[in-house]
């Protein structure tokens, strides 16, 4: 979308609160409250035991001053999978930042998979992204985050713009992971070997609970991804498995993350892999 088109969208606040609970043989959306143009489609049940939900925000992205807020609660015994039908876009802003925040709460004996498509930072955007994941020690979670700088194929090399991104994962109220990315276009960190190393796409996968066996399994899968010119690594923080990736193509990195998800889903979530249909359309 051109800058003039993004400005025409106008400033808005979208908020969506969802609660999932077990009802009979399947998980249902038992509470849904939304504000502004942020909603969900009818849930899908592909037979993997999870309630698949697609998050929709019709404006297509966030302009200056826009805010997108998601609050999700998964009750004991429920299983939910959330994804998006398209990339989240942060448009150019000459004024206020664009803000996206999500709080995900997973009870004991519940599972949540948070698998959105990539986030694209347009040149000149001022993005603030915060993700808080709060797990019971007996809960199960898999999720990922993918961020792309600019749109090189459209001539947008992200020569200006800022990002503040915070991710926090708590288990029984104790922080296991607390990370913060903060940069401006042109910062040396974006090209430094200890930073983004001049890659245009970065991301991470999170899986809980995990152990050394799953870490070894993931590392075997990552070795096969080198043919896609990706830089990938995995580590174990207690029982939280973290896979980090760098690349220059959103689709290649997401496909690698999907292979990790496929390899781990049965062990972590307790369900056979069943990719959302929207990923193939």
Give tens-digit pLDDT for 84-139.
Answer: 999 999 999 988 999 999 999 999 999 999 999 999 999 999 999 999 999 999 99
* Number of structural domains in the chain: 1
Give the residue numbers spanning the domain of 186.
3-280
Residue 229 has pLDDT above 90, yes or no: no
pLDDT tens, residue by residue, 187-211 = 999 999 999 999 999 999 999 999 9
What pLDDT score was predicted for residue 62? 95
Which of 215, 272, 220 minimizes the C-alpha distance to 240? 215
CB 146 within 8 A of CB 181: no
- Laid out side by side, the sheet with 162-171 consists of 26-35, 13-23, 67-74, 98-106, 126-135, 162-171, 174-184
Is the full-model pTM beyond 0.85?
A: yes
| Contacts (Cβ under 8 Å, ≥6 apart) of 11 | 63, 64, 65, 66, 96
């Amino acid at each position: 979308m051109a800058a003039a088109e993004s400005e025409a969208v106008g400033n808005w606040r979208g908020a969506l609160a969802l609660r999932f609970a077990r009802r009979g043989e399947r998980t249902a959306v038992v509470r849904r409250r939304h504000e502004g143009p942020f909603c969900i489609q009818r849930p899908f049940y592909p037979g993997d035991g999870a309630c698949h939900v697609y998050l929709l925000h019709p404006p297509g992205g966030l302009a200056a001053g826009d805010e997108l807020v998601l609050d999700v609660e998964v009750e004991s015994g429920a299983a939910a999978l959330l994804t998006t039908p398209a990339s989240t876009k942060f448009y150019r802003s000459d004024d206020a930042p664009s803000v996206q925040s999500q709080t995900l709460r997973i009870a004991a004996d519940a599972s949540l998979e948070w698998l959105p498509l990539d986030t694209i930072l347009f040149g000149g955007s001022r993005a603030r992204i915060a993700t808080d994941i709060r797990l019971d020690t007996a809960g199960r979670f898999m999720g990922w985050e993918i961020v792309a700088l600019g749109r090189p194929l459209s001539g947008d090399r992200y020569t200006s713009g800022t990002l503040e991104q915070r991710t926090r994962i708590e288990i029984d109220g104790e922080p296991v992971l607390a990370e913060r990315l903060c940069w401006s276009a042109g910062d040396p960190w974006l090209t430094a070997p200890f930073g983004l190393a001049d890659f245009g796409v970065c991301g991470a996968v999170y899986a809980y609970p995990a152990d050394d066996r799953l870490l070894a399994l993931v590392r075997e899968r990552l070795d096969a991804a080198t043919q896609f010119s990706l830089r990938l690594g995995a580590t174990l923080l207690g029982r939280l498995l973290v896979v980090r990736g760098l690349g220059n193509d959103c689709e290649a990195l997401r496909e690698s993350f999907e292979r990790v998800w496929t390899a781990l889903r049965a062990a972590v979530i307790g369900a056979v892999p069943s990719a959302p249909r929207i990923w193939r359309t």
